[in-house]
Chain A
Amino acid sequence: MPTVLIGSARDIVEHCGVPRFVFSDFPLGNPCGHPWDREMQRTTLGLALDLLESARGPRSTVQLPFAWRPEDPAWRERYARVRPDDRERLLAIGDERRRRFGQPPRS
């Protein structure tokens, strides 16, 4: 079945390899466009439809011509960023996850 994927995390998707990929360089969560921006969302889906038709082979990628909000240029730096002063807090989060999922305690 012909498929096209709309998503972020370009490195992961291209590492895996998909037939067709529309890359939205946005924070994870809104691959189809900014929340409530219907025009952007239509344009995004339109580009996905274009790629469904135009791709001639696998690993065909196009990037959306949109940027995340200009007032928030630091979003790329925030996601899952590990800072040295966060070490103890993150280890505690990990310990809680291991308990919650029945995983062995940290060695």
Chain B
Amino acid sequence: MTAQAVTDAPVRYMERTRLYYRALGYDNDYVWARHDAVPFTPLRKPLSARTVGLVSTAGPGDRSHRDARNRRQVWSGLVASPPASFDTDVAWDKDSTHTEDRESFLPLEAAQHFVAAGRLGRLAPRFHAATTEYSQKKTIEQDAPEILRRLREDGADAAILSALCPVCHQTRAWSPGTWKPMACRPC
């Protein structure tokens, strides 16, 4: 294998994460969530006739999505008036980039562009912050159903999820009506 091939290969985050946490002194490796059967719901109408909701892993910059114990809770913001800043305190690559541009992780303007162009029928009035939780029970029984409920309440019939950090939580493992997270240490 050439040096160039190594450089161009996608980062092996699972291996990198295992080695990193072993170096921190942990002896119980992560066990990532896995769907034995991946759910799939086809899009039965064209997107121009759909209402799409946006979900990300970033909360509001004032951290009002965190409770007294600093645990993240499901939070929703208005597409028409998003917060000026976002809480992106998860394990993104702070040595290589930044999260000062909201559109790089929550594409509100881009989605509105496609609505104006007729590619999307409608954008749901709210976007939602997933919780990147460490409790499978809370994620499955509380947070995921709550986000799905809010999406449906907004009339969304499809969702776009953008993940700042899929390394040590599995919030992204969305299926209709459920999420399948992993047990994980806090980022």
Give the distance to chain A from B56, nearest Cβ to Cβ, in Å.
Answer: 9
Contact of A19 among B38, B99, B101 (CB under 8 A): B38
- Which residue from chain A places its CB closest to the CB of B164 in the assembled complex? A29
Residues from chain B with a CB closer than 8 A to the CB of A55 are: 40, 42
Interface of B: prevailing SS: loop
A52 to B119 alpha-carbon distance, docked (Å): 12
Is there contact, CB below 8 Å, between A34 and B42? Answer: no
Chain B residues lying within 8 Å of A78, measured Cβ to Cβ, are: 93, 95-96
- The proximity string for B residues 37-78 relative to A, scoring 1 for CB distances below 8 Å and 0 otherwise, is 011111100110000000000000000000000000000000
CB distance from B86 to the nearest CB of A (A): 11
Residues of A within 8 A of B176 (CB): 1
Q: Is B180 at the interface (CB under 8 A from chain A)? A: yes
> Is the beta-carbon distance between A12 and B114 smaller than 8 angstroms?
no
Q: Which of A4, A17, A25 contacts B10 (CB 8 A)?
A: A25
With A1-B148, A12-B14 in contact, do A17 and B99 touch (Cβ < 8 Å)?
no
Q: A7 contacts which of B7, B148, B156, B162 (Cβ < 8 Å)?
A: B162
- Indicate which residue in A32, A53, A86, A94 contacts B110 across the interface (CB closer than 8 Å): A32
- Interface of B with A (CB < 8 Å)? 7, 9-17, 19-21, 23-27, 32-35, 38-43, 46-47, 88, 91-101, 103-107, 109-111, 113-114, 119-120, 148, 151-152, 156-167, 170, 172-177, 180, 185-186
